[in-house]
Structure 1
């Protein structure tokens, strides 16, 4: 292992953009299908892994929602989440903020209570066993209606103490943030923080809508914001964080050459960019693999790597005291 790779692997990190359903490894999908007697169109784990090959967002979403079909019981959501936390412990990730897609489950007849019970029980055990702190973010599926999002928000209210923020994910094109402005206004009034996917596929205008209409506290992806100089200046001045997902960008062809990935330029422009894995089981890598990919492709220095990690802690939804404790760990490591 070369020095920089070793440095990345041992460095304390936070992950802020992770879809828990997107951490469903082929082995676990296959095991849950057998346990729950769910028919899937794959005879072996290798066939599942082969199906995890795609070239655009929609092809990915098709297999992503198919994979969800094996998640039925509270224990399934526990096993999924705890497997992810075990991986994070191995990669020296000390804080995670994970998305879950309740509509992807409630629309299949799984109760909201079942989903959140399994996930939060695993997060609690992850804290106890691994010392990993966490926050949970509930995402609305943007290809569904505003009414459906309002219904999901109503279902979430009894669990306000377990959910820190609402988010917006799924296919971006044709579903601008403005479609959910009223839902986010209601969520904010109920005390939730807000994030939204914008500028992954969608134009810079979607980023502006997320800022102005959804009043997001953090921006997920945001790559295409670089196409608008005034927007870049605004993001730099406000220091609103971008949760960038390098391997995801490459796998979905938003970036066709990792040497052209915009994250180094984001740092140079003064943007608060962070590194995340998005849907690691499908995109070929967790946190360390994402850091490695950009370090190798963009010739990042140790200082740039540490800056990205520090941004992750600073951009988290932790208290100032918790942030400072994590940053102190990072600074001690860097020294």
Structure 2
């Protein structure tokens, strides 16, 4: 098994991180006090005890409840800084973070409050930790197309600071096809595209993400393995998959990390990466996820996963080349 110190020291990017999902219980109580908001849990311990999920929707119900404590620009700044501190400790040098503006605008929090707070936190984290980052606006797929278009319109003043749009929330019953026109408009605005597909949804949702949303990166993608033709296409195109092992375990996508398909993905030539998804709810940040799959992959495959994280990023070619060199230098010295 790969040495835990090697896992932490290995330079890596995180490409699948919901910033609202990094809201730790202690932060939730702190922000609730600061903003004078009541939450239906008497203690941090009882809140953590509620983090037992049998499906994605169970998690989303408590996730949206937790996000209600985020009200002011300061909250979003502090949330981002707390995540980046943990990411820095895990050897993350670049992160591309999701945010869900509809979760907040539906509560009367202005789009700018969310975006400006996160962007300020991202800037402060680069100055303090040297971590570069990009912001990805996710549409909530359980809401309708009109709501997504309204969110895209609201985001226009920030297009120069938003790298991409994404698609998250409840997958089943909300196929990517529902948002094809919105993604087309985002592409016309010069934004990259990513989408959650093949976590709970069928392989057909992955096909739709590729052919209708024209995604640049695929989030999760586990169920693509059920379709050999789809696997071949993903491998040949070099499509990056942002895989989240502890999330998969917590949401019962896999029943045991020992049977996680990450090794099969690599064996089939897929450009898989390792990420933490919603770490406050799923029990681990990015290094924890690497450690979880360490018994399943070789040291060289760990290096491949780290390399993939930069190859699949939205960094420019020069930055990717620098990071790949750093990964290879670290691996060669250990």
TM over 0.5: yes
Corresponding residue for residue 15 of structure 1: 14
Is 2:58 the partner of 1:56? Answer: no
* Residues 234-254 of structure 1, C-alpha deviations (whole Å, 9 max, x = no match): 001000100000000000000
Corresponding residue for residue 321 of structure 2: 324
Query: Contact 2:2 / 2:299 at 8 angstroms: preserved in 1?
Result: no
Corresponding residue for residue 306 of structure 2: 309
1:91, 1:121 → 2: CA distance? 22
- Is the partner of 1:16 in helix, strand or coil? strand
* Alignment TM-score, normalising by the size of structure 1: 0.98
- Is the partner of 2:108 in helix, strand or coil? coil
Corresponding residue for residue 110 of structure 1: 109
Structure 1 residue 53 displacement after superposition: 2.2
Structure 1 residue 225 displacement after superposition: 0.3
RMSD: 0.8
2:173, 2:322 → 1: CA distance? 42
Using the TM superposition, name which of 27-36 and 40-49 deviates more. Answer: 40-49
- Is the partner of 1:209 in helix, strand or coil? helix
* Residues 43-66 of structure 1, C-alpha deviations (whole Å, 9 max, x = no match): 111122112222211110000000
* Alignment TM-score, normalising by the size of structure 2: 0.98
2:54, 2:330 → 1: CA distance? 38
- Is the partner of 1:160 in helix, strand or coil? helix
Query: Contact 2:203 / 2:224 at 8 angstroms: preserved in 1?
Result: yes
Corresponding residue for residue 203 of structure 1: 202
- Structure 2 stretches lacking a partner, 5+ long: none
1:57, 1:294 → 2: CA distance? 21
* Residues 268-302 of structure 1, C-alpha deviations (whole Å, 9 max, x = no match): 00000000000000000000000000113x1x211
Query: Contact 2:140 / 2:168 at 8 angstroms: preserved in 1?
Result: yes
Is 2:330 the partner of 1:333? Answer: yes
1:192, 1:327 → 2: CA distance? 25
Q: Map 1:110-189; keep pairs closer than 5 Å.
A: 110-189=109-188
- Is the partner of 1:143 in helix, strand or coil? coil
Structure 1 residue 10 displacement after superposition: 1.2
Q: What is the total number of aligned residue pairs between the two structures?
A: 332
Query: Contact 2:2 / 2:294 at 8 angstroms: preserved in 1?
Result: no
1:283, 1:219 → 2: CA distance? 20
Structure 1 residue 257 displacement after superposition: 1.3
2:65, 2:50 → 1: CA distance? 11
1:144, 1:323 → 2: CA distance? 35
2:69, 2:62 → 1: CA distance? 12
2:52, 2:32 → 1: CA distance? 20
Which of the pair has the greater relative contact order for Cα pairs under 8 Å at 6+ separation?
2
Structure 1 residue 146 displacement after superposition: 0.2
Corresponding residue for residue 98 of structure 1: 97
Structure 1 residue 3 displacement after superposition: 5.8
- Is the partner of 2:252 in helix, strand or coil? coil
2:288, 2:234 → 1: CA distance? 27
1:275, 1:329 → 2: CA distance? 18
- Structure 1 stretches lacking a partner, 5+ long: none
1:250, 1:4 → 2: CA distance? 23
